[in-house]
Amino acid sequence: DQQVKQNSPSLSVQEGRISILNCDYTNSMFDYFLWYKKYPAEGPTFLISISSIKDKNEDGRFTVFLNKSAKHLSLHIVPSQPGDSAVYFCAAANRDDKIIFGKGTRLHILP
Amino acid sequence: DGGITQSPKYLFRKEGQNVTLSCEQNLNHDAMYWYRQDPGQGLRLIYYSQIVNDFQKGDIAEGYSVSREKKESFPLTVTSAQKNPTAFYLCASRFRGQGADGYTFGSGTRLTVV
C-alpha cells in the first residue's frame, strides 16, 4: 500500500518555463513533507521541505505547496534550468521521523 | 569534510554468496539507515539504527542483516536468502531527534548479481 504517490514517472519542460511536480499521500498523520533531488549513481540531496502546519514554503526558484484537505503537495521550479534535470522524490515523515518515499518523477528540461 | 562514505561504488556477486556493503559516517550522527532503490520503485527502507548496538527492521528486511557496533559504521550484509538483490543501495544518517530534513545520504553502491 503506497502511502506516498508520484503518479507521473516523467515530465518534460522547456527551459525557462515552470516545472510542476505533483505528489499525493494517504496518511493524514504525516507531519512533514520533503522533496529530494537525485542524479544517476548519486545519493538524493535534500531540496525543500514543508511542515504540515503550513501551506507554502519558498526557497529561491523552488516552492512547495501543501493542500492538506486534498492530501496533495506540489513542487514548483521557476524558471526551469538545464541543471534541474534529475529524478525528484517526494517524501513524507511521521512523528518517528522515518521517511517514506514516493517512486520519483524524472524531470527533463528541454533546451 | 564531514559526510557519508559508501564502498564499493560497484559490486558484483555470484548467486548464493553473501556480500557486505560498507557505510561509514564522520558526522557524529546517531541514527543510520539503509535504503534500496529499484527502477520505478523509489527508495524503500531495509534497516535502521537509532543508537549503537540497536537496530530495527524496515519495510523490506528479509534477506538482509546489519550490525551497529560503532557509531560511525553501519554495514549491510546481503545474504543468499535475498531473492532479488540486484539494486542500488543507499545509506543515510542523521542526528536522532533532528527533523526529517536532517538526513544525509551517501552516494550509493550498485550491487549486481551475476
Strand partners, A38: A87
Give yes or no for a contact between A32 and A18, defined as CB atoms under 8 angstroms apart.
no
Residues of B in contact with A96 (CB under 8 A): none
pLDDT at B81: 87
pLDDT tens string A29-82: 888 899 999 998 888 998 999 999 999 999 999 999 999 999 999 999 999 999
B103–A43 C-beta distance less than 8 A: no
Which amino acid would we find at residue A57?
N
pLDDT higher than threshold 80 for residue B101: no
d(CA B74, CA B35): 12
pLDDT tens string B18-57: 999 999 999 999 999 999 998 878 899 999 999 999 999 9
B7 in A contact zone (CB under 8 Å): no
**Residue A96: pLDDT band with limits 50, 70, 90:** low
Quick one: cell of A111?
533546451
pLDDT higher than threshold 90 for residue B1: no
B44–A101 C-beta distance less than 8 A: yes
A44–B98 C-beta distance less than 8 A: no
pLDDT higher than threshold 80 for residue B100: no
d(CA A85, CA A107): 5
pLDDT tens string A38-51: 998 888 998 999 99
Give the one of B9, B41, B100 whose C-beta lies nearest to A99's C-beta: B100
Strand partners, A65: A56, A74
B73 alpha-carbon distance from chain centroid? 10
Chain B: closest CA distance from residue A51 (Å)? 10
Residues of B in contact with A46 (CB under 8 A): 101, 103
